[in-house]
A = this chain, B = another copy of it.
């Protein structure tokens, strides 16, 4: 589509750390590989420190900078606000942006509490009525293998879902000398492994099965309760400073739940799984077949077709790089794998497609709220000794 035929979409991004870098790469790359129906522009990036945000803008490719996100709402050249800040700021920014008529892409978790997430969802619904759109950034949904998994479930290829087994395992906190950072501070991050990575596991389980968790039993644990104070905050872990402070979030969460269709789902989220770097594992066992995925081998989906002759049946290792796989035709020939950041590019593609088509994007804030409610139920269950807790 020629430029003349395409409306402009000016994007303003708030925050430019890990998530900001991933989102920037997506905004830069999406129009190069996909025929976007809108002419996206990386109009402004926001950070509190003028010098640092200017550096970031130059490095990441943003045209201008602001030191207060509220400025974005006043600018006519901003059509969409992309929120890449810690969870405690999401509600305020997102609600204000939506009320100012700006579309919003908000990183997950949607908020640090159900109450905030409810306010955001209400704001999103009001905005939706005015054609102002919102999306929460569960980017792992955009891994081609995950999209394929959802398609196969929807096509009935695994039959009735009996079991979901979802784990998100990392090990970056295993060393007690790793200092505190905002991710270990409940007031900033809302929760620990549960909200940061368990949220993804919950969203993927619900997304791929097309079902909701109706209740859970769970337990949370903080293995290392005191850590050195960080001198500065860089990367996931920061650098060591002086003295120690208290970890106010969970290091690990273990829970199981019941799906709306009657199946059993088990979950684990941990930052203490030695040797597991970013192992998002999802296994689904149904009455007709099974699926298995591990993000450490992200271009592969394993599929067992239980209707086949047992003599030749087996989990197929589908290398999800064929032109008929989701998103793949825009990229490289078969066998040329994609990486982590491609999910963010696909997120931009889907969002822009929806904006141009006047469709409500998914996952919506309501979807983010649904995940938040599951996380909240897990926390409440944990407080109650793991008792059954409805979502």
Contacts and interface: CB of A to CB of B under 8 A. Distances in A.
Contacts of A61: 32
Give the one of A21, A254, A385 with max B CB within 10 A: A254
Contacts of A285: 169, 171, 270, 272-276
B163 A278 contact: no
Nearest to A157: B312
Given A217-B386, A256-B254, A274-B286, A311 B319 contact: no
Interface stretch (A85-93, A95-103, A113-121, A337-345): A337-345
A387 interface: yes
A255 to B, nearest CB: 8
Given A290-B275, A319-B277, A340 B338 contact: yes
B158 A221 contact: no
B278 A333 contact: yes
Nearest to A237: B333
A318 interface: yes
Nearest to A223: B162
A255 B277 CA distance: 25
A322 interface: yes
Contacts of A32: 24-25, 28, 59-61
17 contacts: A18-B333, A163-B252, A165-B268, A217-B219, A219-B264, A254-B266, A256-B266, A275-B315, A277-B333, A278-B333, A296-B337, A310-B322, A313-B316, A313-B318, A332-B341, A337-B339, A338-B339
A20 to B, nearest CB: 12
A208 to B, nearest CB: 15
A251 to B, nearest CB: 8
Interface string A286-322: 1111100001111111111110011111111111011
Given A25-B33, A301-B314, A317-B317, 12 more contacts: A29-B29, A169-B285, A254-B264, A274-B290, A274-B304, A276-B335, A279-B335, A309-B324, A313-B316, A314-B316, A315-B317, A332-B341
A336 B278 contact: yes
A52 interface: no
Interface of A: 3, 18, 21-22, 24-25, 28-29, 31-33, 58-61, 148, 152, 157-158, 162-163, 165, 167, 169-172, 174, 217, 219, 221, 223, 235-236, 252, 254-256, 258, 262, 264, 266, 268, 270, 272-279, 285-290, 295-306, 309-319, 321-325, 332-342, 385-388
A284 to B, nearest CB: 9
Given A264-B252, A338-B339, A314 B317 contact: yes
Contacts of A386: 217, 256, 386-388
Contacts of A162: 223, 252, 270, 272-273
A62 to B, nearest CB: 11
A156 to B, nearest CB: 13
B296 A319 contact: yes
A274 B288 CA distance: 7
Nearest to A284: B274
Contacts of A266: 254, 256, 266, 268
Contacts of A24: 32
- Pairs A-B, 9 closest by C-beta atoms: A278-B335, A277-B335, A275-B304, A339-B339, A314-B316, A314-B318, A385-B388, A217-B386, A336-B340
Contacts of A299: 296
